[in-house]
Amino acid sequence: MNGAPVPVSNRVLEAAIEWQLCLDSGVTSAREKREFQRWLAADPEHVRAWKQLTGLDQQLAIAAVPAARKALLRHPKRNPQRRSYGGLLGVLLASLLGLGLLNQQRPLSDWLADERTAIGEQRELQLADRSRLRLNSRSAVDIDFTADARHLFLHSGEILVETAPGDPRPFLVETEQGTLRALGTRFLVREDDQGTRLIVLQSAVAAQPQYAADERVIEQGQQVLMTREGLGASQAAPVAADAWMHGMLVVENVRLAELLERLGEYHSGYLGVDASIADLRISGSFPLGNPDLALAAIPASLPVRVKRYSDWWIRVVPQAEKSR
């Protein structure tokens, strides 16, 4: 598990691809090269994205898509006021996704997990103690029940746990950030870029970060973000947090980028957003089983439009953006 690549965000991956197209163009200026070096040094995630993209590019070079690669390296006419790599970016991602090289970026530990789900898949299990476990899309979990304790280890994604009464063994959900101890309860655990998100739907859960001495009890109707170093402030649980079990995603006043990230977990391809509109706020209910219908609902609430390069490559852009 230690050797598995750490996934990077779609936003950073997109920036890395744009830099690759720029550097491969053959007409890169000294100023652009300096800007690239500053971008690379600004964040360790940028370095990871660049290394992962380099590896993917090497695979693409030996794959049977010479026409696509030739198109990637054909640089468009340059506009001194604005670089536009949207079309080439779509070709690159469509090619990579078609080869199955970029789609998931799942670490090896996911593939070796006891239970895992693919894009858009959900699975419900009855555990040996009669507890119920529900895996959301793109999730991976290990199950280890012993004479002393009931253990789940969440590698990625989101699970809903409903513990069965009458078993004296502690019920523990572990992640890279720490341990959650069920106190006769129903709760959600989600792994994302920020850490482990706990949402308690019934009863309570005791949360203990990996490097913290004490645990804190999170009560019904509350949520908390756990990192290895500690717990954030307890907040009210989001409305209908478990609606995904019924095929719906319900959000209230979230960033557009966050909504698209969640919808992207059910989309077999790349779903991005222009940085200029990423912070727009949105509320609503979106069907997870029908991505086209979910995306079509967004322009009804915000001044945006959905731009499709292909079925695999979709981007939400400002409504007034000119066609490229």
Report the domain count for the chain: 3
Residue 282 lies in a domain: yes
292 has pLDDT over 90: no
- The residue that leads in pLDDT, 69 or 197, is 197
Are residues 124 and 76 part of one domain?
no
Q: In which domain, by residue range, is 16 found? A: 10-98
Are residues 89 and 69 part of one domain?
yes
227: its two tokens: 């990192």
pLDDT band of 105, cuts 50, 70, 90: low
Q: Among 236, 269, 290, which residue terminates a domain?
A: 236
Are residues 157 and 72 part of one domain?
no
Q: What is the CATH number of the domain that holds 209?
A: 2.60.120.1440
Residue 107 lies in a domain: no
Model confidence pLDDT, tens digit, residues 33-62: 888 888 888 988 888 777 766 554 444 443
Residue 166 lies in a domain: yes
pLDDT band of 83, cuts 50, 70, 90: very low
Are residues 232 and 140 part of one domain?
yes
Model confidence pLDDT, tens digit, residues 180-220: 999 989 999 999 889 999 999 999 999 999 998 889 999 99
Q: What is the CATH number of the domain that holds 275?
A: 3.55.50.30
Q: Which has the minimum average pLDDT: 80-89, 211-220, 260-269, 304-313?
A: 80-89
pLDDT value, residue 243: 92
35: its two tokens: 């800007």
Are residues 208 and 262 part of one domain?
no
Are residues 68 and 16 part of one domain?
yes
- The residue that leads in pLDDT, 273 or 18, is 273
Residue 63 lies in a domain: yes
Residue 132 lies in a domain: yes
Q: Which residues contact 297 (CB under 8 A, 6 or more apart)?
A: 284, 286
Residue 165 lies in a domain: yes
Are residues 211 and 135 part of one domain?
yes
Model confidence pLDDT, tens digit, residues 135-161: 999 999 999 999 999 999 999 999 999
Nearest to 158 by CA among 181, 139, 132, 173: 139
Residue 109 lies in a domain: no
Q: Which has the minimum average pLDDT: 147-156, 169-178, 289-298?
A: 289-298
